[in-house]
A and B are shown apart, each in its own frame.
Chain A
Amino acid sequence: MVTPGLWEAMEEAESDSGYPQELTYELLESMRRIDPGLNSFITVNGAAVEQARRRSGKGPLRGLPIAIKDSITTDGIETTCGSRILEGYVPPYNSTAVERLIAAGGVVLGKTNMDEFSMGSTGENSYFGPTRNPWDLERVPGGSSSGSAAAVSAGLAPAALGADTGGSVRAPACFTATFGLKPTYGRVSRYGLIAYANSMEQIGPITRDTRDAALLMSIIAGWDPKDPTSSKEPIPDYLGALDVDVKGWKIAIVKEMVDGGVDGDILRSFWRAVDEASSLGIDIEMTSVKYLGHALAAYYIIACSEASSNLARYDGLRYGMTGEYVGNWRKVFAKIRGEGFGREVKVRIMLGTYMLSAGYYEEFYLKALKVRRLVAESFYRLFKKYRLLLSPTMPILPPRLGEKLMDPLAMYMMDVETVPASLAGIPSASLPAGFSKGLPIGLQIMGPPFGEPEIFAFSARLEEKLGLNPRPPISL
């Protein structure tokens, strides 16, 4: 069996009402065979086949299964966020994104592996073990939505939801040759998304192609009274956007993002993709984003600060793991948190605590927020002139397991291309753009606020032109 993408599966389900159930059964069977090597799922939904049968024919998704990142809350299905501290936590409610998928006839196939609390760019920082890349099992699939991307790439799911804070959808999409989108901040409700850096993170699709992502976005996007930061901007016709003619569009490449820090092989593939883009009749220029050299530091200062506050709630009292009550609350909470959080989470909590402490708040945190404004405004200005901005998604090829793990800076540097869009809250996607040494390379497409339709239009045309349709060596 070759696992279809979501759109193809939908067409199949339209003519055969038994198909969603069959597909779900097949996927669960294949998972047993393939997933021990990939480790893309933490939890499988034991009721998925039955739910696929019951929802067959309902809504646009007709009972089709979708993999969900384990930071996205699912009613009755364990949600760990890749952390020991949430092991055994079975939420009594659905995140809005999952609620909407279910209302559209979707089924939760399972919960995918991820860097603990989304803190990682490789997929290795999970309490449940590292996820591996189906293109090369010795290499990382990118993170933090590592399992969602590995599963879609290997055909263990027709589509998945991930979540992106500083590149957590785009990085694994890039490393696994899948399509990933971080939507505009506020476009998708964050209700039920376990918070890491709440001023930046967004739930987004990871799919085989642009069309599947447009389809998922048309289901999950939109205002939600349960998330005050969700936008009331009307939902455009994402699927209709796929047919929009891009001829004559003006698009720019961000100069600072194609400089010396990017691997030569990646640059070669990037420029080839740019050539293909110009053959679509697109006018391509070079441009510059101000203060971009400070974006990575600003991003990590803000993300760690928000994390130190957001992760204060884990005390072992009300849910997740617990421990013996020996001593006062400080001792008990410190012990539970010390045992429940992994190393990288501890490092980031400590960094955030430092940034927010007296004396350093103004010097680090406030400065980072000011850089954020300068970077964001530079982007917004550029979008008055250009429809979209382009860069490579990742500056390096997927590293080998363990290669970046012990060096936090080397790991953070991997996010240099993806964090600017996160600071600005603009939508940004990664499209498979080629290969080097058999490993995937991604093109990052950044759009103006609420410019998902422009991203989809351009991505769909370029995808057609590149004609990659990649399937890794390990796949169904």
Chain B
Amino acid sequence: MPKVDVEKLRKLAVLELTPDEKKEVEQKVKEVLGYFEKLRSLDLSGIDPMYTVEFEKPHYRDDEPLRFDSDELLRLVHKGKDRYVKAPRMV
């Protein structure tokens, strides 16, 4: 059974957890990981991973800019000034 460092995972996932939640999440994560264990023992060498369904190749549209009313999007922003989004301190 692999070790679960909830504090490390929590940091990687950028999630605050209350002590109660931490306990509950840890227990649930462990339980589910235990179930996933049986997959680890399978020998699947030589099989290509299937990241997505492969019926067709993705159909990308031409790389042409589309106009979108950015004022509409900026209206959703809670904290901002003029046409800028205010973010918390980065460093």
Query: Which residues of A does B touch, CB under 8 Å?
Result: 89-90, 92, 184-186, 199-200, 223, 225-226, 228-233, 294, 297-298, 300-301, 308, 312, 315-319, 322, 325, 327-335, 337-339, 341, 343, 346-347, 349-351, 353-354, 357, 360, 363-364, 366-374, 376, 408-409, 412, 424-425, 449-450
Q: Say yes or no: A325 contacts B88, CB within 8 Å.
A: yes
A298–B12 CA distance with the chains assembled, in angstroms: 22
Residues of B within 8 A of A315 (CB): 14
9 inter-chain pairs at a CB distance below 8 angstroms, sorted by A residue, are A92-B73, A231-B56, A233-B56, A327-B89, A337-B14, A343-B24, A343-B25, A349-B15, A409-B35
Q: Say yes or no: B17 contacts A346, CB within 8 Å.
A: yes
The answer, yes or no, to whether B31 is at the interface (CB within 8 Å) is yes
Q: Say yes or no: B60 contacts A373, CB within 8 Å.
A: no
Give which listed residue, A200, A316, A350, contacts B6 with CB less than 8 A. A350
Q: Say yes or no: A408 contacts B28, CB within 8 Å.
A: yes
- Chain A proximity mask over B58-73: 1 for CB below 8 Å, otherwise 0: 1111000000010011
Q: Say yes or no: B36 contacts A228, CB within 8 Å.
A: no
A300–B39 CA distance with the chains assembled, in angstroms: 12
Mostly, the B contact residues are: loop
- Chain A proximity mask over B31-75: 1 for CB below 8 Å, otherwise 0: 111011011101010011111110110111100000001001101
State how many angstroms separate the Cβ of B6 from the closest Cβ of chain A.
Answer: 7
Residues of A within 8 A of B73 (CB): 92, 318
Query: Which residues of B does A touch, CB under 8 Å?
Result: 2, 4, 6, 9-18, 21, 24-25, 28-29, 31-33, 35-36, 38-40, 42, 44, 47-53, 55-56, 58-61, 69, 72-73, 75-79, 85-91
* A350/B15 contact (C-beta < 8 A), A232-B56, A364-B36, A409-B32 known: yes
A5–B7 CA distance with the chains assembled, in angstroms: 51
A462–B15 CA distance with the chains assembled, in angstroms: 49
Q: Say yes or no: B9 contacts A354, CB within 8 Å.
A: yes
Q: Say yes or no: A347 contacts B28, CB within 8 Å.
A: yes
Q: Say yes or no: A337 contacts B15, CB within 8 Å.
A: yes
Residues of A within 8 A of B52 (CB): 185, 199, 229
A334–B11 CA distance with the chains assembled, in angstroms: 8
Residues of A within 8 A of B33 (CB): 351, 354
Residues of A within 8 A of B12 (CB): 353, 357
Give which listed residue, A297, A322, A350, contacts B78 with CB less than 8 A. A322
A253–B51 CA distance with the chains assembled, in angstroms: 27
* A350/B10 contact (C-beta < 8 A), A294-B39, A317-B87 known: yes
Q: Say yes or no: B39 contacts A228, CB within 8 Å.
A: no
A184–B54 CA distance with the chains assembled, in angstroms: 11
Q: Which residue of A lies closest to B53 (CB)?
A: A425
Q: Say yes or no: B39 contacts A364, CB within 8 Å.
A: yes
Residues of B within 8 A of A363 (CB): 40
Closest 7 CB pairs of A and B: A338-B16, A425-B53, A369-B49, A373-B50, A92-B72, A332-B88, A199-B52
* A89/B15 contact (C-beta < 8 A), A229-B52, A297-B36 known: no
A316–B14 CA distance with the chains assembled, in angstroms: 12
Q: Say yes or no: B15 contacts A329, CB within 8 Å.
A: no
Residues of A within 8 A of B78 (CB): 316-317, 322
State how many angstroms separate the Cβ of A331 from the closest Cβ of chain B.
Answer: 8
Q: Which residue of B lies closest to A91 (CB)?
A: B76
Q: Which residue of B lies closest to A335 (CB)?
A: B16
Given contacts A354-B33, A371-B42, 16 further A-B contacts (CB under 8 A): A185-B53, A230-B59, A301-B36, A317-B78, A318-B85, A319-B76, A329-B87, A329-B90, A330-B11, A331-B88, A335-B16, A338-B15, A343-B24, A350-B13, A350-B15, A369-B49
